[in-house]
């Protein structure tokens, strides 16, 4: 009986973790690098959902307020 209760608790715990993870916005991530290339003020961002990294260009005012290690959401992207 104790084993059955433990298995049920574990199953419920796994399901609740999955639900919480699915509620994350998939257009957000952690800034891993930044720089300037010509007219492009770029940020490399690691996606919270997929773990993929992608580089995006922003205007100078956005770039100046975004720091490596910070969380950042790209509003015109669903996921990468």
- Tell me what pLDDT residue 7 has: 58
Pick from 66, 60, 28: which is nearest to 47 by CA? 28
Taking the model in full, what pTM does it have? 0.69
Distance (Å, rounded) from C-alpha 37 to C-alpha 5? 58
**CATH class assigned to 25-75:** mainly beta
* pLDDT tens, position by position, 36-77: 999 999 999 999 999 999 999 999 999 999 999 999 999 998
- Tell me what pLDDT residue 77 has: 87
Sign of CA dihedral 53, 54, 55, 56: negative
- Tell me what pLDDT residue 8 has: 55
* 8 Å CB contact between 23 and 37: no
Give the range with max mean pLDDT: 3-12, 20-29, 35-44: 35-44
The DSSP element (H or E) to which 60 belongs, if any, is helix 60-64
């Amino acid at each position: 009986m104790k084993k059955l209760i433990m298995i049920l608790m574990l199953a419920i715990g796994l399901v609740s973790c999955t639900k919480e993870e699915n509620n994350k916005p998939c257009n957000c991530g952690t800034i891993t690098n930044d720089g300037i290339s010509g007219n492009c003020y770029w940020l490399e961002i690691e996606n919270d959902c997929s773990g993929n990294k992608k580089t995006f260009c922003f205007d100078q005012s956005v770039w100046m307020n975004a720091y490596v290690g910070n969380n950042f959401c790209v509003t015109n992207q669903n996921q990468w």
